[in-house]
Amino acid sequence: MQPAAVLCLVALTVAGCGASAQDSSEDFKGEKRVVAVAVEDLEEAGRQDQARRICGELLAKSLIARLRQAGTNCRPAVDEALKDVDAFDLDVDRITIRGTRATVRVSSGSGDGARTDTLLLEREGRAWKIASLGAGAAGGGT
């Protein structure tokens, strides 16, 4: 993942920072709820400008390693991404779990600004961590 892509990942994920952000994890049960909470933890850490927590606790080791290989340190990249976040809601729409990987479809914005994106999470021990941002589409489609 290129450094710009991690900026995009963090900006997208924490973009649900508005005061009206909903807890969409309540829509899920079991392990899927744990995955949804991991996405919401990233959103909350972004809202609180916690780049250290994002890099140290919420991003997968594989993503951190890709950043290092690209010559980028996580914390400055996340700090930069957090500066550019606009406030709008982020909702976890669908979660698919296969072994130690989870695919999460999220939606944000509304009208012409609506978009859907796919986050990939990896299980590290008992925790689910953000591993990458998959394909997305503006205008509400995937």
Segment 71-110, tens digit of pLDDT = 889 998 888 887 776 554 578 999 999 999 999 998 877 7
Residue 5: per-residue pLDDT: 61
Report how far residue 68's alpha carbon sits from residue 51's, in angstroms, rounded to the nearest whole number: 16
Domain count, the chain: 1
Which residues, given as ranges, of the chain have pLDDT below 70? 1-22, 85-89, 134-142
Task: Tell me the Cα Rg of the chain.
Answer: 14
The reported pLDDT for the residue numbered 108 is 77
Q: Which domain holds residue 56?
A: 3-138
Give the domain CATH number at 35. 3.10.450.630
- pTM equals 0.80
The phi, psi pair for 122, rounded to 5°, reads: -125, 145
- Separation between Cα atoms, residue 55 and residue 76, nearest integer Å: 10
User: What local confidence, expressed as pLDDT, does residue 19 receive?
Assistant: 41
Please tell me the predicted confidence (pLDDT) of residue 140. 46
Single-letter code of the amino acid located at 106: V
Question: How many residues in the chain?
Answer: 142
pLDDT score of 58: 95
Q: Which 3 state secondary structure label does DSSP give 10?
A: helix
Task: Report the alpha-carbon distance of residue 35 to residue 61 in Å, rounded.
Answer: 16
